[in-house]
Structure 1
């Protein structure tokens, strides 16, 4: 019975390490998707002259999940709600962020971007989108560095932590 418990504990800690490593791997991928989404949003607003609701729907159809969920839910909630655009943006960020692998830096960038969304003319909006994209590029570099630095270590640490706990209790 001890061995079964030890095996379950070892599997659980190893799985935890692999899950954390997966999040480290997903973060740069999702930042790239977010940058792509902002570029599509820029094109829809500036060149398609689409209102924010329509632009976000088009963005949601063109990008992969989980980023598509954010923009789809945002446009749906804008249609149904009488709250301000920023309030809806903030609510969507709060509910979406735990489901993603994105970090606090990206969250803050998106919050700041949400404060400017729909508040300026086309050129002003374009500047704010480009600013958000440049900030996301900085976060992308950091995320890639973290992935390279910590991914293997976290996997090994999960396994070794389980092994240590088993040895301490045996």
Structure 2
């Protein structure tokens, strides 16, 4: 019975390490997708001259899940809600962040971007999108460094911490 418990503990800690490593690996990918979504949004607003609701619907069709869900829900909520655009943006952002691998830095960038969305003319909106893209580029570089530095370590750490706990109890 002891050995079964030890094996289950080892599997659980190893899985925890691999799950944390997966999130580290997903973060740069999702930041790139977020940058792509903002570029599509920029094109829709500036060149297509679409309203924010329609632009977000078009972005949702062009980006992969779970990011597509954010833009779908945002545009749907804008249609139904009487709240301000920023309040809806922040609410959807909070809901989306729990299912994404993105960090707090990216969330803060997107919150700041949401404060300016729909508030300026085309040139001003383009400047704010470019600013958000440059901040996301900085976060992408940081995420790639963290991925390279910590991904293998947390996998090993998950296994080794389980092994240590087993040895302490035996």
- Who is 2:126 aligned against? 126
Offset of residue 52 of structure 1: 0.2
CA distance in 1, matches of 2:73, 2:24: 25
Alignment of 1:18-167 (within 5 A): 18-167=18-167
Offset of residue 66 of structure 1: 1.1
Q: When the two structures are superposed, what TM-score results if normalisation uses the length of structure 1? A: 0.99
CA distance in 2, matches of 1:53, 1:145: 35
Structure 1: gaps of 5 or more residues: none
- Give secondary structure in 2 for the equivalent of 1:99: coil
How big is each residue's C-alpha offset from its partner over 1:36-63, in whole Å with a ceiling of 9 and x where there is no partner?
0000000000000000000000000001
Aligned-residue Cα RMSD (Å) equals 0.4
CA distance in 2, matches of 1:164, 1:75: 50
CA distance in 2, matches of 1:136, 1:65: 19
CA distance in 1, matches of 2:74, 2:27: 21
CA distance in 1, matches of 2:9, 2:53: 48
Runs of 4+ in 1 over 6 A off after TM superposition: none
Aligned length: 170
